[in-house]
Chains A and B, each alone.
Chain A
Amino acid sequence: MSIAGSVLIALGLAFMVITALGMMRLPDFYSRVHAVSKSETLGIALVLLGLILHEGATLVSLKIGLILVFVAVANPVGAHLLTRAALRTGQLPWRRGDGE
Chain B
Amino acid sequence: MSNEPRQVDVRPTKLRQTFRWTVQTLALFVVWLAFSGHTQIEFLIMGAIAAVIGTALTHWLFAGDQEARFRHKPYPPSWFVPATFRVVLYAPWLLWEIALSNIHVAYLVLHPRLPVEPSLVEFETSLRSETAQVLLAQSITLTPGTVTVDVSNGMFMVHCLSAKSRQGMEEGSIQRKVAGIFAEEAPDSVQLTDVVAVEQVLP
Contacts and interface: CB of A to CB of B under 8 A. Distances in A.
Partners in one complex: yes
Interface of A: 15, 18, 21-22, 25-28, 30-31, 33-35, 37-39, 41-42, 59, 62-63, 66, 72-73, 75-77, 79-80, 83-84, 87-88, 90, 92-96
Interface string B191-203: 0000001100110
Interface residues of B, number: 35
The 4 closest A-B pairs by CB, nearest first: A76-B141, A42-B102, A22-B109, A83-B149
A47 to B, nearest CB: 13
A100 B164 CA distance: 22
Nearest to B114: A25
Interface of B: 31, 34-35, 37, 98-99, 101-102, 105-106, 108-110, 114, 116-120, 137-138, 141-142, 145, 147-150, 157, 159, 161, 197-198, 201-202
Contacts of A38: 98, 101-102, 105, 142, 145
Nearest to B117: A96
5 contacts: A22-B105, A41-B142, A62-B34, A80-B149, A93-B118
B147 A37 contact: yes
Contacts of A76: 137-138, 141-142, 148
Contact of B106 (A33, A39, A62): A39
Contacts of A88: 202
B142 to A, nearest CB: 5
B118 A27 contact: yes
Nearest to A63: B35
Contacts of B198: 90, 92
Contacts of A84: 149-150
A92 B34 CA distance: 44
